[in-house]
């Protein structure tokens, strides 16, 4: 597959603090790629360098075949950015705002189609200040994709959303990816990364400490499982690399149904916490 983003040996220092310590990344065209990490890990600095907002000290960076440090207006028209916080043009309507931003791009999408795509057609005539927080975030996405970007950066897109709004927003992101847009997502919600991302990278201590599919990250798929059940009025559990054998043994012991039987492997959150603890050392 074609690579949309390629990073080798990226470093960045702020005074005596080295925020990024030699990061390597490859992000493929058309995938949703999540970058995870605690505050201060170097995640935001890395993304800002990819967006062309911040300079680097060393390393090679290619985004859509261009060095962001030498970006032209033409390159900028090929990317979309949805920041974590954005200033509201509160007194204009949704339609006015999206139509206005369309004028900045050489090959903009049809504004009304974009408004419909983000689920705001019924609110198109409303002033931005009249929208809910989730609806305003959809406006941010509309402005991020109006230029028909090949690559979209989403920074903590669902912070503060209620569960229903988050699920709806996920559907929007998945539809954008289905249309061929490459998406780089930063989020603190591990369930969001697991639901959306094709691959994830965990950044800790200025380095990538793990990279892969959410289901296999950090050896998750092959990690020992915990088998739990109730016996003799007590809750019991066993960590094992052969959970099927354990369940069969329990089935024989109880002559069928095992009381309160569960089999679990480490969650993405379990793996993530272990990775960032190890990586920060």
**What DSSP state is assigned to residue 66?**
B
pLDDT tens string 2-37: 999 999 999 999 999 999 999 999 999 999 999 999
Tokens of 221: 């798929």
pLDDT at 141: 86
pLDDT at 280: 58
Q: What are phi and psi of 253, to 5 degrees?
A: -65, -40
pLDDT tens string 110-133: 999 999 988 899 999 999 989 888
pLDDT < 70 regions, the chain: 1, 85-88, 279-281
Q: What are phi and psi of 167, to 5 degrees?
A: -60, -40
pLDDT at 251: 92
pLDDT at 167: 86
pLDDT at 88: 64
C-alpha count within 13 angstroms, C-beta hemisphere, residue 35: 29
Euclidean distance between the first and the last CA atom of the chain, given in angstroms as a whole number: 35
Q: What are phi and psi of 49, to 5 degrees?
A: -65, -40
Secondary structure (H, E, C), 192-249: HHHHHCCEEEEEECCEEEEEECCCCHHHHHHCCEEEEEEECCEEEEEEECCHHHHHHH
Q: Kindly report the pTM of this predicted structure.
A: 0.84
Contact 80, 145 (CB under 8 A): yes
Contact 19, 12 (CB under 8 A): yes
C-alpha count within 13 angstroms, C-beta hemisphere, residue 51: 21
The candidate with the shortest Cα–Cα distance to 155, out of 192, 194, 115, is 192
pLDDT at 256: 82
Q: Which residue has the tokens 């990490």?
A: 37
Residue 127: burial class (beta carbons within 10 Å; 0-12, 13-18, 19+): middle
| Residue 90 CA: distances (Å) to CA of 86, 114, 142 | 11, 19, 15
């Amino acid at each position: 597959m074609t690579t949309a983003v390629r990073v080798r040996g990226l470093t960045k220092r702020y005074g005596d603090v080295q925020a990024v310590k030699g990061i390597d990344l490859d992000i493929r065209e058309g995938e949703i790629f999540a970058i995870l990490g605690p505050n201060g890990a170097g995640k935001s600095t890395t993304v800002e360098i990819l967006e062309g907002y911040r300079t680097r000290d060393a390393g090679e960076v290619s985004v859509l075949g261009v060095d962001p440090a030498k970006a032209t207006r033409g390159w900028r028209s090929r990317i979309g950015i949805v920041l974590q916080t954005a200033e509201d043009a509160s007194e204009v309507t949704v339609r006015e705002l999206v139509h206005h931003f369309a004028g900045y791009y050489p090959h903009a999408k049809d504004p009304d189609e974009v408004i419909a795509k983000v689920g705001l057609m019924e609110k198109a005539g409303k002033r931005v200040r009249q929208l809910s927080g989730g609806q305003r975030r959809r406006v941010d996405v509309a402005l991020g994709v109006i230029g028909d970007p090949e690559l979209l950066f989403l920074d903590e897109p669902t912070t503060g959303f209620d569960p229903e709004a988050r699920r709806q927003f996920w559907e929007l992101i998945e539809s954008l990816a289905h249309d061929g847009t490459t998406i780089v997502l930063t989020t603190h919600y591990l369930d969001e990364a697991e639901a959306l991302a094709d691959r994830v990278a965990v950044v800790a201590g200025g380095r990538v400490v793990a990279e892969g599919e959410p289901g296999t990250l950090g050896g998750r798929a092959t990690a020992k499982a915990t088998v739990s059940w109730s016996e003799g009025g007590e809750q019991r559990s066993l960590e094992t690399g052969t959970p099927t054998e354990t369940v069969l043994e329990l089935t024989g012991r109880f002559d069928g149904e095992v009381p309160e039987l569960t089999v679990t492997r480490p969650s993405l959150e379990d793996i993530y916490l272990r990775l960032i603890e190890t990586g920060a050392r």
